[in-house]
Amino acid sequence: MSFSIELMREIEATVASWGLPPRLIHEVLEHLYEELAERPRYHLKRISKPDIRLLYMFTVRAEGDPPRDYLFEFSVRYHADEETLIIWECDYLSLEAGPG
Amino acid sequence: MNEASLLRFCDAQTKLIIALIFDHAGEADAPRVPARIDPILPHLIEYCETGKHALEVLGLALLSDQITKTEPISLVVRESVPRMISLLERVRRLGRQAREEGIPPTGLDEYEQAVNRFRKSAIDFLMHWPWGSMEPWEKSAAAAYERGEFREAREALNELLEQARQREQANDRVTEPAMAPPRSGRGIELE
């Protein structure tokens, strides 16, 4: 069973403010729906400090000169209906990619 | 213990910056003097090793619940690690360029191995460390969710995707006059 994913409006505004190129937004979509929505228990990391939360993290390599690795982090919560995942916080950072 | 590791990390970083800026940076920046990066490679290797150790210690401390406030550390690390990786990769490119020109810097292979180890530990660390505001759900988002301030993610992201495509097309129109230089990459955001 695939989970549906809901995005808080504030998060939508945050992602828009990043000004990502189309390819990276497409990669985010693919990760959310091909990984997280399909197997959330496998992909979510649970942390307990400072509060209990579930994190979904992934990296994307973006070509360029030099290329960069983008690391994305989403805070996720299960809805009470147990069929929906709610993304309520997100962030990303980029690192210059290595040669290989 | 965690603070000490962080301090060692910062100290190694300081030594690195001093070596680059005051001793060798001018020469290393010039494209035709790649052999002059030799003297800074040992400092960079030390930086990689102490940085790797510090990040591993911090990661273990988080796992064993010894750290209760993650945000101060994430604020430091998310600024310093990308900046330092950028510097390390820049030196790696200079070293490879020198090798291609027949003047391989002494210790380049060891340096590259150290950079690779540091990169791996940095990405492992970043992929396990919570970076967010750490506001609990109840305070920051539950009320907004109750008010219906959410949307199906696919719909929202597809809309952002379309906006990004339009933005990119508009940029292409602006930057593609007859004499425009060829673009590198795909217009990806760089530093």
Judged by a CB distance cut-off of 8 A, whether residue B115 touches chain A is yes
Please indicate whether residue B65 or residue A20 has the higher confidence score (pLDDT).
A20
Q: Nearest by CB to B151, from A6, A28, A55: name it.
A: A6
CA distances for B149 relative to A75, A79, A90, angstroms: 16, 14, 16
Q: What is the pLDDT of residue B83?
A: 79
Render pLDDT for A40-67 as a digit per residue (tens, 0 to 9). Answer: 999 998 887 667 789 999 999 988 888 8
Nearest-angstrom CA–CA distance, A87 and B88? 34
Nearest Cα neighbor of B28 from B91, B112, B85, B87 is B91
**Closest residue, chain A, to B119 (C-alpha):** A98
Q: What is the pLDDT of residues B6-30, one digit of tens each?
A: 656 776 775 676 566 555 545 555 4
Q: What is the pTM of this model?
A: 0.78
| pLDDT-flagged residues of chain B (< 50) | 1, 25, 30-35, 178-191
Q: For residues A20 and A58, is the Cβ–Cβ distance under 8 A?
A: no
Name residues 22-61 of chain B within 8 A of A (Cβ): none
Report the alpha-carbon distance of residue B62 to residue B56 in Å, rounded: 10
Inter-chain CB pairs, A–B, below 8 Å: 168
Q: List C-alpha distances in Å: B117 to B9, B48, B80, B172.
A: 15, 8, 17, 39
Taking the Cβ of residue B65 and every Cβ of chain A, the question of whether any pair is shorter than 8 Å is answered with yes
Put simply, the answer to whether B186 touches A21 (Cβ < 8 Å) is: yes
